[in-house]
Structure 1
Amino acid sequence: MTKVILRTLFLATISFALLAMILYMLWGENVAQWEMLYEKNYANLPYGAWMLIFFGGFSLLIAMWSNSLTIQKENQLTKQLNLILEGQFQTTKKRMVSKKNFKKLQAIDDLVQTQKKSLQRLTNDHANIQEKEVQERLIQERQRLARELHDSVSQQLFAASMLLSATNETIGETLPEANQKQLQQTEKIVQQAQLEMRALLLHLRPIALKNKSLAQGLQDLLDELRQKVYFNIQERLEEVSLPKGAEDHVFRIAQETLSNTLRHAKATEVQLLLVERNGLVIFRLQDNGVGFSIQDDDHAGSYGLRNVEERAVEIGGTCKVVSIPEQGTIIEVQIPVEQEETK
């Protein structure tokens, strides 16, 4: 309301000044003409009063009209700015603001959207960096734990196993039958604990292949296992064309399956296959161990097998498990070679 009053006074002042200038140019200093403005009247009001009322009312109407236009433009501009903030600003043929201002609003909208995308990228990059740092710390902790277990518990289990074996050979036959069975059972428990520890150390190994190919990494892993396990390992490893991330996943799958075999299979022979055929990379592990029933949820849904299946899916592959009780288990993973690395 204050704006309307101020505009009215401003316009009225200009109107009265212009009217006075026009009348002065017409009448000059003719007193009789000027006296007519207040001597002659219409409806009991002098002509001069009617002129003041007319120009005052006209100024008020113009002030109200201009104020209404200003409010309307401000509302339109506010609406456009709100659309920009909400990310819904769109170019339309029926513009609600002037062409010049509309182009400026478009530039502002482009800048805002660019800044939003930049902030999203920064947020994603920050999250990825944090995730990589967490993964790196986890790998370092796994390596530290594996070293400590190998240098302490694993060595102690090995020493206990050797002592029990030597005791069985030297004085085992001189003991009563019940004691012999207890000593043999204790030796088996220690040997099983050794297998569990080796499987755990295998599981804790870092998953990165570093500068090695998948076939080279698997060969090194099997060569190391041969020095620590009691079963025979046969392998057929070929170079395959997989992205680096997919190779790391397959290497980790191999670790998981070998760890499960060490812990549960009680196998005497393990066969490992890595080949590329008909657009597929095929990884297969087969053992002649105790096997299990696929319908048995405790085995079919075990943590190790779930990890293998999830890793296969992450790189666009499939996992198939075939197991027959007392005959053995086959785990086969197939990955399309054209599959891009999953991030």
Structure 2
Amino acid sequence: MKAMIGRTISLTLLFSGLVAVFFYVFINLSLEEYGELLLTTEAADMPLVAWLLMTIFVVSLVIAGWMTSNSRAKENFITKKLENLYSKQEFVPSKKMNKQTNHSIGQLYDVLDAQRNSLRRITDERVEAQDKIIQERIVQERQRLARELHDSVSQQLFAASMLLSAITEQAEEGSQIEKPLLQVEKIVQQAQLEMRALLLHLRPAALHNQTLAKGLEELLHELKEKVTFDIRYRLEDMELSKGAEDHLFRIAQETLSNTLRHAKATEVEVLLIERDHLAILRVQDNGVGFKQDDGKGGSYGLQNVQERAIEIGGSCKIVSVPSQGTIVEVKLPIQKGEMADDSSIASG
């Protein structure tokens, strides 16, 4: 409103000056004659000067209103464009604004877009760094727990197992105490297997720049020294992405851990071969197995194995027969010539 009043006053003064100049230049009269003309000439009982001033004021008011309305429309349009920069993060040049205004808002949009991208990149990098720190701490904690369990509980279970074996051998055959001792010895031996499976699961799945075959060989060699059943393996070197190797190593680790805890097997065979452009990882045992149609497959701890196989674009096949054993087979297509640094595959 203040802007409109100011414009009206300015235009009234401007037009009054223009009318005065017009009369002075184009009508050849003296000042006295001008006074008589403006004051004595009447129309509808009003002097000519009053009509002129009223007309000038009305015209000025109309023009000022139009200018104010047009200015507000432009301001609202520009405000909407600026709001789009914030809410929709977009800017489209418009013919309703002049070239300079379009250019200025376009420059502002480019600056804001660059800042948004920069902040987004910084945020992503910070989150990735935090995730990396968290993963490192998780690995360190798992290593610490594995060492403490191995140095304390595992050693105590081993000592208890040896002591029970010695007591059982000294017990008289057929005595009342022989059967409970054998049961306790069996429980302790099962606890040892559970502990070894837990230690295997806690062990960080890291190849340390080794090939998958080499990493599996070290894992199986270490496991053979700690378990009583027979472990056979055949491992071939092949060209796989880093992410695929990491997931296959974890699949083998989890499958062997499940075998230790549940299978009650006497033989385990691990196979890693390449056939028809497929990497094939197979873990087979002769344990108790399970019925695949009774809904207990998930409780056997193999659901995570299936999910890992899917994550790297492979397939997982599980075949189990009660009292005969279980086969877990993962097949992964190999893309020749692509020695990948596939760090994009999530490790979990």
Query: What does the per-residue CA deviation read over 1:259-278, in whole Å, with 9 as the maximum and x for residues that have no partner?
Result: 11111111111111111222
Assess, with a 3 A threshold, how the Cα gap between structure 1 residues 124 and 302 changes in structure 2: closer, same or farther. farther
Residue 27 of structure 1, CA deviation: 4.3
Instruction: Tell me the residue number matched to 1:151.
Output: 151
Instruction: Tell me the residue number matched to 1:126.
Output: 126
Residue 305 of structure 1, CA deviation: 0.4
- Which amino acid is 1:261 matched to? T
CA RMSD of aligned residues (A): 2.0
CA distance in 1 between counterparts of 2:252 and 2:289 reads: 18
Of the three residues 288, 291, 315, the one matched with 2:289 is 291
Residue 100 of structure 1, CA deviation: 2.4
Instruction: Tell me the residue number matched to 2:237.
Output: 239
CA distance in 1 between counterparts of 2:90 and 2:178 reads: 86
- Which amino acid is 2:295 matched to? D
Q: Secondary structure at the match of 2:302?
A: helix
- Which amino acid is 2:264 matched to? K
Residue 287 of structure 1, CA deviation: 0.9
User: For residues 79-94 of structure 1, what are the structure 2 equivalents within 5 Å?
Assistant: 79-87=80-88, 89=90, 91=92
C-alpha contact 1:37 1:46 (8 A) present in aligned 2: yes
Instruction: Tell me the residue number matched to 1:179.
Output: 177
- Which amino acid is 1:83 matched to? N
**TM-score of the pair, normalised by structure 2:** 0.91
Residue 227 of structure 1, CA deviation: 0.7
Instruction: Tell me the residue number matched to 2:65.
Output: 64
Instruction: Tell me the residue number matched to 1:78.
Output: 79
CA distance in 1 between counterparts of 2:13 and 2:278 reads: 90
CA distance in 1 between counterparts of 2:24 and 2:190 reads: 122
Instruction: Tell me the residue number matched to 2:298.
Output: 301
- Which amino acid is 1:91 matched to? V
C-alpha contact 1:283 1:333 (8 A) present in aligned 2: yes
**TM-score of the pair, normalised by structure 1:** 0.92
Deviates more, 1:284-293 or 1:332-341: 332-341
Instruction: Tell me the residue number matched to 1:53.
Output: 54
Instruction: Tell me the residue number matched to 2:258.
Output: 260
CA distance in 2 between counterparts of 1:73 and 1:28 reads: 46
Residue 22 of structure 1, CA deviation: 3.3
- Which amino acid is 2:49 matched to? G
CA distance in 1 between counterparts of 2:278 and 2:213 reads: 15
Instruction: Tell me the residue number matched to 1:96.
Output: 96
CA distance in 2 between counterparts of 1:29 and 1:213 reads: 112
Q: Identity of paired residues, percent?
A: 52
The answer to whether structure 1 residue 326 and structure 2 residue 323 are counterparts is yes
Query: What does the per-residue CA deviation read over 1:136-160, in whole Å, with 9 as the maximum and x for residues that have no partner?
Result: 2111111110000000000011111
Residue 4 of structure 1, CA deviation: 1.2
Residue 337 of structure 1, CA deviation: 2.1
Residue 90 of structure 1, CA deviation: 5.2
CA distance in 1 between counterparts of 2:285 and 2:81 reads: 69
C-alpha contact 2:316 2:330 (8 A) present in aligned 1: yes
Give the paired residue count: 339
Query: What does the per-residue CA deviation read over 1:114-140, in whole Å, with 9 as the maximum and x for residues that have no partner?
Result: 333333333333332222222221111
Instruction: Tell me the residue number matched to 1:115.
Output: 115
Q: Secondary structure at the match of 1:286?
A: strand
Deviates more, 1:103-112 or 1:209-218: 103-112
Residue 36 of structure 1, CA deviation: 1.3
Deviates more, 1:200-209 or 1:176-185: 176-185
Q: Secondary structure at the match of 1:297?
A: coil
The answer to whether structure 1 residue 221 and structure 2 residue 200 are counterparts is no
Instruction: Tell me the residue number matched to 1:203.
Output: 201
- Which amino acid is 1:38 matched to? L
Residue 303 of structure 1, CA deviation: 6.0
Query: What does the per-residue CA deviation read over 1:267-305, in whole Å, with 9 as the maximum and x for residues that have no partner?
Result: 11111111122222111001111111111222x112620
Instruction: Tell me the residue number matched to 2:138.
Output: 138
C-alpha contact 1:317 1:333 (8 A) present in aligned 2: yes
CA distance in 2 between counterparts of 1:200 and 1:146 reads: 8
Q: Secondary structure at the match of 2:176?
A: helix
- Which amino acid is 1:297 matched to? G
C-alpha contact 1:27 1:33 (8 A) present in aligned 2: no
CA distance in 2 between counterparts of 1:223 and 1:187 reads: 26
Instruction: Tell me the residue number matched to 2:246.
Output: 248
CA distance in 2 between counterparts of 1:262 and 1:88 reads: 56
- Which amino acid is 1:55 matched to? I
CA distance in 2 between counterparts of 1:136 and 1:303 reads: 29
CA distance in 1 between counterparts of 2:108 and 2:214 reads: 56
- Which amino acid is 1:342 matched to? I
The answer to whether structure 1 residue 16 and structure 2 residue 16 are counterparts is yes
C-alpha contact 2:91 2:109 (8 A) present in aligned 1: no
CA distance in 2 between counterparts of 1:30 and 1:287 reads: 124
- Which amino acid is 2:97 matched to? V
Residue 175 of structure 1, CA deviation: 5.8
C-alpha contact 1:87 1:113 (8 A) present in aligned 2: no
